[in-house]
Every structure is written in C-alpha cells, then in structure tokens.
Amino acid sequence: MQLERPEAISRSQTEQGATVVPAPSNDSQRGTNGRWIPGTTQIRFGGDYNPEQWSRETWLEDIELMQQAGINMVSIGIFSWALLEPREGEYDFSFLDDIIGLLGDAGIDVDLGTPTASPPAWFWKKYPESHPVTRDGNRLGFGSRGMVSPSSPEYRSAASGIAGELAKRFAPHPAVVMWHIHNEYGAPISDSYDDYSVAAFRDWLQAKYGTLDDLNRAWGTLFWGQVYGEWDEIDAPRLAASVTNQAQRLDFQRFTSDALLACYIAERDAIRAHDQIRPITTNFMGTNCPSVDYWKWAAEVDIVANDHYLVAERTDNHILLSMDADFTRSLAGGSPWILMEHSTSAVNWQPRNIAKRAGEMARNSLTHVARGADAVMFFQFRASRFGVEKFHSAMLPHGGTSTRIWNEVVALGSDLAALSPLTGSRVKASVAIVWSIESFWAQDLEWRPTVELEHRTRIESFYTALWERGVTIDFVHPSHDLSSYDVVFAPSLYLLDTESAANIEGYVAAGGSLVVSYFSGIVGANDEVYPGASPGALRDVLGLEIHEFLPLHEAETVTLSDGSTGSAWTEEVVLTTGNAHAIYADGPAAGKPAIVRNAHGAGQTWYLSTGLNGSDLSSLIESVLTETGTAFSTLPTGLEHVVRASGDAEYAFYINHADTDAVVTARGVDALTGESVDGEVVVPGAGFRVITSAS
Ligand code: GLA
C-alpha cells in the first residue's frame, strides 16, 4: 500500500522570496497569555519521571517523596513507545492507567508525553526505508534513541496514531493537565538524506518556487553548471566532491525544520481531535538547537517550553543560562513559559560533567523564573540505574534523601511555592538583540572570508556586556516590530532579506538606535550577495560601503584610534553619509574608518567593522546606552538583577553568582522571608533575594 507522502509545510513567503516569520503575539490563541496549564496557580515544580524503569513499590515511595518536595507536576511516558504499543497497532496503556491514577490521587498533575522521539524495535525492523540517512550516506540503526526520517509516511502515521490513542484514553483524566509531544525535535539528529526526505524536499521546493526557472535563479545554478531541467534531478545536498551549492544547503535546512514541525503538528492535531482543552507543547532547546527555526515553531505551541543545561566548564555559564531564558521568553512573545528540563547538578554527556556547587541549582532555577518561567522542571526525578544516563544527576540521586541535592530540591520547592504570587507577571525589556537562525545557517556554511565569523560568540559578548549592567533584553527576529525598543543590537546578521532590511531601516528612520557588527547585511534570502558594495542590505542606513573584506591572521589584533583593540576581522570601509567614530591605527585597513556613526532619518546607527575585545566592546555598548538614555546599573561583579512586574506589583530578583556578599539598595518586602527592606540589602554570596513591592 503506497502511503500518501505527508504534506511538507511550505514556508510563508512574500513574492520576493523573503521568509516572513510570525512575530510572537500576545493573542489568546498562543502562548500563556490567557492559556496556561490548568490546575494550581502555583509555580509548576517537578520533572521528567520514568516509572517504567521502577517497581510499583518504588512508585509509591517516589510519590511520597514528590509530595514532601512540593512537586506538583511530572512529565511521564516520553520514552515508553515500546511498552505502550508492543506490537504495531496493539496498544497497552495499563501501566499509564496505574501510575496516572496514583499520581492524581496524590495531587500530582501529569504532563503526558507522546513517546515518538524513540520508535520501538518493531518499527525499525519493519520499515528500514524509514531509517535516517546521514549526509555522507550512512543509514542509522536502532539501539539508541532518536526518531526516524521526519518525512517517513510510516512514521507520521504511527506517531499520529499513538498520539491520538493516548488522547482518546487520557483526555478525560483529571490528573492529565498538559500534552508533551515528542522530545527535543532536532536532536540527536535533524536532517535525513533518505529517499522519503528527498521526495518531500522536491515537493517543498515546488511549493516554494513554483517553477524550475525560479529555483535555478534563486540557487544560482548557472554557477558550476548545476542547472536543473527536471524536478527529479534535484537531490538532497549530500556530500559531494567539493562545496555544495549553499542556497540548496540553506533550503534543505529550512525544509528539515519544516518537516520536523510537520511531525509535531500532525501529533498535535491528532491530540486536539480528542482534547480541545489542555495545552499542547514540545520541549525546545533554546539557543542551543542549530537545526530548527524556533521563531516559526513558537507560533505552533500553546505554551513555549524549553530545556536548558549549563555548559559545565564555562565560568560564565550562568550568563549563557540567562541568555537562553531571555530567548525563550522572547519566543513566547513575553508570555510566561515552561522550563521543561534542567539539571540538579552534573549532566552526563559533556566532556567533563562538573557538578553544581551548593546553591547553584537554586540560582539557576531562580534565573529562569526571573526571566519569565512559571514552571521549573528537571530531568529527571529519580536517577536511572541502567541505560546511558545512569550517571546523570536527578532530583532524587542514587544516594537518596540524605544527599545535599535532595535537600536543595526540597528547599527549592518551598521557595518556589513562596514565589508563586508572581506567576503571570512579565519582564519588560527596552533593548533587543537580533537572532536570525537562517543567518546563522547561511553564515556557518563553507567558504566564507574567514573561519572566525563565530556568530554565537559575538552574540554572547554583546549579551554579556548588557547582562553585567542589569540590562534585560528581548531577542527579536529582523522582521519583527522593533518600535518599542530604545536600542537594537545586531551582532551577527549576515543574511538579511529585503523585507527585514526594510523593517530595520524603518525602525531607524523612525528614531531607533541600531548597533551593527561586521559581516552583516551581506546576502539576501538565498545567500546571494546584494548588488553593489556590501553591506547591500544595510548600506544606506549605516552610511557606508565596504570595498574589501580584510580578515586578520589567527590571533592577529589591530589597534583603533580610540585605543580599543580589534581581532579576527577588519575591512576597507568607505564613508558615504557616515562619520568615522574611530579609525584603524594599524593593520590592513590602517587609516580607514573602523567604527562608523550615521544619522538616518530620525534615528542613528553605529557600525563596528572589527571584533572589539571584551572590555572595549563593553565600553562602547555602555556609551550607546548612555547616549540613548537607556537605563542601566553599575552592579557588583557577578550580581544578576532582573525585574518581573504585574500591574503595580514588582518582583526584583537579585541573584548573586559570586561567592562574596553583594549589597544593593532596595525597597519592599523580601518575598521569601517577609522581611521589610528599605535601603541597603545584603544578597548573600552564592544566594539570592527577591524583593517585591506587592503588598
Ligand atoms: C535532554 C533530553 C532528556 C535527557 C537530558 C539529559 O534534555 O530531553 O531526555 O536526555 O537531555 O541531559
């Protein structure tokens, strides 16, 4: 029987081929604005729970401990497909009936997973043509986890099947409050080069371009003789003798994100057919997922949910956590969101799985809450004794309830309960950082002017400078409405389509302040260089032309006339309407403008044509904040300050990532101790304070 190939999602396109990404909206149809997890108004607290790994006696023990810790929700069933459908089409939900009943009786709500991130052995055996194929042609097998080809009709049918059966069975259950579809789409793999994917890619291309002429034009196939005469001549961009057509690579990445999204939507709709009430979501991986375009995905979930794990060996990993939390809130359009997973201490999959120190778990959790999370969930409740994650930390470690981790979990549960009045409050940001994964996908392809373009590093350095000054930011897509922001930073925006370029120009012309870093605005939607001098998409708004890219040698630095130091990149900048704020004192662009200011319409821009080192970039950013009248603070080193507000009630978070006490000035009531404060407040080393103005 030839199954219908699943509909590939076609991207919403303007006639110029620009991708219009739905802006996060506060409408009641999406996000937690008006939609949240039904049941308690407490901050949701709990984690993944895998009862299938334990005896029923252990279940009873675990439920008692969950109650002790104040846990009010657990995610279950996420990796249980083999138990729930032991043979194709034969469903056995008895273990779920039992555990959900016990949890419900204990007052612990269930976030019910669909187990489709890990198809069972019978599926892999019966449908070999659905196995994922890597870019270099390796067909992947069973024995680990990870889904099969996202474009496999057998997979789509089986996944929607079990999702619908679960919804049919458990939608009426009072303990089930939410649906958790799949697990981390896009990991451990995303793209597949199997025959189903190739056929679906061709359908996707036909929907996008309509004619082969338009495809050939968009892909520049006249270069290296790649012109396509038939749709079935087009393949996925497998490994080839040399560098593959980059527009094709970019489209295949867009297709992959859409194909995975189509899998999510198919399961969501299968559930919605039986359950029109409960929110449905899937767990994202925030700034750490290179394979899906979350701006598009966020429009399709009822509540944005995110997994975050520290980069264990980074000493600034708490700042990266803040960045991920701000990105997640931005995906949610400012609505409260769910921290679906983080860890109580060490993970197991990094080179050195450094354990969290005393108080660090709580600080991590509080940062997520400070930046908009109304749910704090862990991976996982009880540490596994077998399988590849047996050395991963958990809420209940192998060592049991006498461990430091367990006692910190119980303390956190109590603190989150005390903070629950803040649920639904919002975080206000007057500064934005542009985040375009399509630009990252394009820039990270081969044969750019240097290997040191590092989009992620550059965004982190801008973000860190703002974090250290207590400036909370939103992330934005370049097509979003920017008018509410005093300053917009674009640390890395290589690909910028014409619509988004016009949007940014309009923001500046209307009075906005824009700060752009090098190698931005270079190409359009299909990785094609704009006509004329670079940066074709931003030439006028920045008041300059770039006549030559002048990347530096490894570890080479240049000095600027203002004393600052640049690395990695320089370029020959020719002013049009801009003015040189600083010039190169040495290096290949000596004597030429390095930092350019420009007045454009009612607004202004700054352009940085080199990689300013940390302190110089930080100083420049502070000068931008000062000049634009954007509020910022001088905070003790390591102190994080964020405010959530709802009506006239404010919740000021002071989270001290340094070991020494910090002193701040605050007025209000300590939300955890009830102590009134008015003046100097000590934030203990490695600790936190939440001061509320709420009466
Ligand atoms: C991811 C997955 C979990 C688990 C954790 C381990 O977030 O969703 O199943 O593997 O990583 O850190």
pLDDT in tens, 557-570: 999 999 999 999 99
Whether cis (ω within 30° of 0) applies to the bond prior to 380 is yes
Ligand 1 atom nearest to CA at 283: 8
Confidence of residue 35 (pLDDT cuts 50, 70, 90): confident
Model confidence pLDDT, tens digit, residues 402-425: 999 999 999 999 999 999 999 999
Distance 14 CA to ligand 1 centre (A): 37
Model confidence pLDDT, tens digit, residues 161-176: 999 999 999 999 999 9
Distance 465 CA to ligand 1 centre (A): 30
Residue 675, domain CATH: 2.60.40.1180
Whether residue 184 has its Cβ less than 6 Å from ligand 1 = yes
Strand, helix or coil for residue 436:
coil
pLDDT of residue 29: 34
Give the tokens for residue 53: 């790994």
Ligand 1 atom nearest to CA at 309: 12
Residue 6 in any domain: the answer is: no
Helix (H) or strand (E) holding 663: strand 662-670
Strand, helix or coil for residue 407:
helix
Same domain, 607 and 658: no
* Spatial CA neighbour of 233 closest among 208, 197, 198, 258: 198
Going by CA atoms, what residue is nearest to atom 12 of ligand 1?
347
pLDDT of residue 24: 52
Q: Which of 118, 306, 342, 379 to mutate to test the pocket of ligand 1 (most atoms within 8 A of CB)?
A: 379
Q: DSSP per residue over 491-526, as a string?
A: S---B--HHHHHHHHHHHHTT-EEEEESS-S-B-TT
Whether the Cβ atoms of residue 364 and residue 356 lie closer than 8 Å to each other:
yes
Using only the alpha carbons of the chain, give its radius of gyration.
26
Give the sign of the dihedral formed by CA 248, CA 254, CA 256, CA 259: negative
Asked if residue 9 has pLDDT above 60, the reply is: no
Q: Residue 229: which domain range?
A: 195-235
Same domain, 542 and 673: no
Whether residue 183 has its Cβ less than 6 Å from ligand 1 = yes
Residue 138 in any domain: the answer is: no
Whether residue 342 has its Cβ less than 6 Å from ligand 1 = no
Whether cis (ω within 30° of 0) applies to the bond prior to 351 is no
In this prediction, residues 261-284 reach a mean pLDDT of: 97
DSSP summary character for residue 143: S
Q: CA-CA distance, 294 to 22, in Å (whole number)?
A: 10
Distance 337 CA to ligand 1 centre (A): 18
Same domain, 612 and 479: yes
Ligand 1 atom nearest to CA at 348: 12
Confidence of residue 22 (pLDDT cuts 50, 70, 90): low
Boundary (domain end) residue, out of 425, 450, 479:
425
Residue 245 in any domain: the answer is: no
Boundary (domain end) residue, out of 367, 394, 425:
425
Q: CA-CA distance, 304 to 337, in Å (whole number)?
A: 5
CA dihedral 657, 660, 662, 663 (to 10 degrees): 170
DSSP summary character for residue 400: G
pLDDT of residue 27: 37
DSSP summary character for residue 124: H
pLDDT of residue 376: 98
Asked if residue 16 has pLDDT above 60, the reply is: no
Whether residue 347 has its Cβ less than 6 Å from ligand 1 = yes
Beta-bridge partner residues of 487: 431, 513
Ligand 1 atom nearest to CA at 349: 12
Average per-residue pLDDT for the chain: 95
Ligand 1 atom nearest to CA at 343: 12
Going by CA atoms, what residue is nearest to atom 4 of ligand 1?
379
> Which percentage of the chain shows pLDDT scores above 70?
95
Going by CA atoms, what residue is nearest to atom 7 of ligand 1?
307
Whether residue 309 has its Cβ less than 6 Å from ligand 1 = yes
Asked if residue 32 has pLDDT above 60, the reply is: no
Whether the Cβ atoms of residue 404 and residue 387 lie closer than 8 Å to each other:
no
Distance 379 CA to ligand 1 centre (A): 6
The pTM (predicted TM-score) of the whole model is 0.95
Asked if residue 109 has pLDDT above 70, the reply is: yes
Going by CA atoms, what residue is nearest to atom 11 of ligand 1?
379
* Spatial CA neighbour of 205 closest among 233, 185, 226: 233
Whether residue 341 has its Cβ less than 6 Å from ligand 1 = yes
Whether the Cβ atoms of residue 320 and residue 311 lie closer than 8 Å to each other:
yes
Same domain, 380 and 289: yes
Confidence of residue 630 (pLDDT cuts 50, 70, 90): very high
Same domain, 103 and 203: no
32 vs 112, residue with greater confidence: 112
Main-chain dihedrals φ then ψ at residue 320, nearest 5 degrees:
-65, -35
Whether residue 307 has its Cβ less than 6 Å from ligand 1 = yes
Going by CA atoms, what residue is nearest to atom 3 of ligand 1?
379
Asked if residue 312 has pLDDT above 50, the reply is: yes
Ligand 1 atom nearest to CA at 341: 7
Q: Which of 52, 76, 145, 184 to mutate to test the pocket of ligand 1 (most atoms within 8 A of CB)?
A: 184
Confidence of residue 98 (pLDDT cuts 50, 70, 90): very high
In this prediction, residues 19-24 reach a mean pLDDT of: 53
Confidence of residue 73 (pLDDT cuts 50, 70, 90): very high
Residue 48 in any domain: the answer is: yes
Whether residue 392 has its Cβ less than 6 Å from ligand 1 = yes
Model confidence pLDDT, tens digit, residues 429-449: 999 999 999 999 999 999 999
Same domain, 559 and 435: yes
Lowest mean pLDDT among 21-35, 63-77, 84-98, 451-465: 21-35
Distance 310 CA to ligand 1 centre (A): 12
Residue 287 in any domain: the answer is: yes
Residue 3 in any domain: the answer is: no
Same domain, 402 and 443: no
- Describe the chain by its helix, strand, coil percentages, rounded to 5: 30, 20, 45
Same domain, 311 and 408: yes
Going by CA atoms, what residue is nearest to atom 5 of ligand 1?
379
Residues marked active site are found at 184, 341
Counted domains in the chain = 4
Same domain, 106 and 17: yes
Asked if residue 15 has pLDDT above 60, the reply is: no
Give the sign of the dihedral formed by CA 369, CA 375, CA 380, CA 382: positive
Residue 105, domain CATH: 3.20.20.80
pLDDT of residue 34: 56
Q: CA-CA distance, 183 to 185, in Å (whole number)?
A: 6
Distance 385 CA to ligand 1 centre (A): 16
Give the tokens for residue 311: 């980069």
Q: How far is CA 610 from CA 325, 465, 546, in A?
A: 28, 17, 12
Residue 149 in any domain: the answer is: no
Ligand 1 atom nearest to CA at 79: 9
Boundary (domain end) residue, out of 173, 208, 235:
235
Same domain, 287 and 377: yes
Same domain, 477 and 396: no
- Write down how long the chain is: 695
Whether residue 194 has its Cβ less than 6 Å from ligand 1 = no
Residue 457, domain CATH: 3.40.50.880
Distance 308 CA to ligand 1 centre (A): 9
pLDDT of residue 77: 98
Residue 360 in any domain: the answer is: yes
In this prediction, residues 388-395 reach a mean pLDDT of: 98
Whether residue 379 has its Cβ less than 6 Å from ligand 1 = yes
Distance 577 CA to ligand 1 centre (A): 51
Same domain, 175 and 281: yes
